[in-house]
Structure 1
């Protein structure tokens, strides 16, 4: 289990992805990139002279090897196709969702240092990650990111109770845009609430509630404490998942 520390010095239990699972995810992404390159080359003009053909091939290769991971990870909030298959996600060092700049720095680091230009086919990434407590490669260090499992098997989490006063409000929420890593962070906050200092409770709870409010398009009002607000959202999410499962049976 790897510990990620938030900006308020609160430790979140996120299971850091290790070499084996990351290698499988990487291999899957390389296959996708190879197929993209193959398709691009088959559709590209072939009547250029040798020098222009080489320049075009190099440009297209860099565009795919850098553009693919940067675009996919930024649009999916840290989940390339390979990571989706393996149940992994890229997050910031504080456990938050990555943005385009994080994905771009990771992609550039991967191309120039970790894997291709200077990486000897992944030897650099392998060497660096073996000596990293969180399995980071050079691109992760440059971007301030880490790859984690989206679920932590075997972790016992106490059920979140629905605050009665917020039950009706929660039933009308749109939870379709609520990201998984934000749910995990909120669950960790609720589970460790009584272990936190008063300052950490207020600062972290307010930040999480603001992020959740933006995602569900129903911001927390000042008279509602972050704890019941987050509890209501997570409890409603759990109830809907349970109802959907029962309907599917």
Structure 2
């Protein structure tokens, strides 16, 4: 009996997920099945529409519906939390080569705002007055450097570039003291420095030396500019200060 019940439940779930590819379970009238389909699919579509309003508007009703139907039918979410379903769509779009490149990037751009808004991350212990060159600068857990091939901050209905631009869009997303997520444009050096802070626990001087080496220039050439940049990022709350109880890790 248990196996029979489970099989009935699975047939019901498969049909509701993708009625075009799966037969309906026996003994349930089509009208009732349609109600279940509208209920479950409608909830997911409504949830995702609220998370990706610009993507929905940019795709238009038909393409948006087709995308969400495909996601609903083919993706297996790894989370039971409604607040994390948007991240599942972002992951799904990373593997959809049939979609224009701007679709996945715009979805990620909209999603990161929700991630930072809902984040309950705790900042690590730090010295707010630490030496940003000698010490190990600490990036706020509520800040994220972003790089996109498409100009995601300007895409919208009727504003889709015909081709990918020659220069990337470099952005900083950061949740401020007002608990709102703010986006700002980044120069290439600022973006590279923030990514380095995100990836490596070394002194500020070593971060700048690494950037200089990649650019093929002398470290002293950018150290003054880099220190000014670190100080400016600290004034914005993006860099918190320097890490405590840690020695710089030399890589």
The question of a shared fold, defined as TM-score above 0.5 by the shorter chain, is answered with no
Answer 1 or 2: which has greater helix percent.
1
What TM-score results when the alignment is normalised by the length of structure 1? 0.29
What TM-score results when the alignment is normalised by the length of structure 2? 0.29
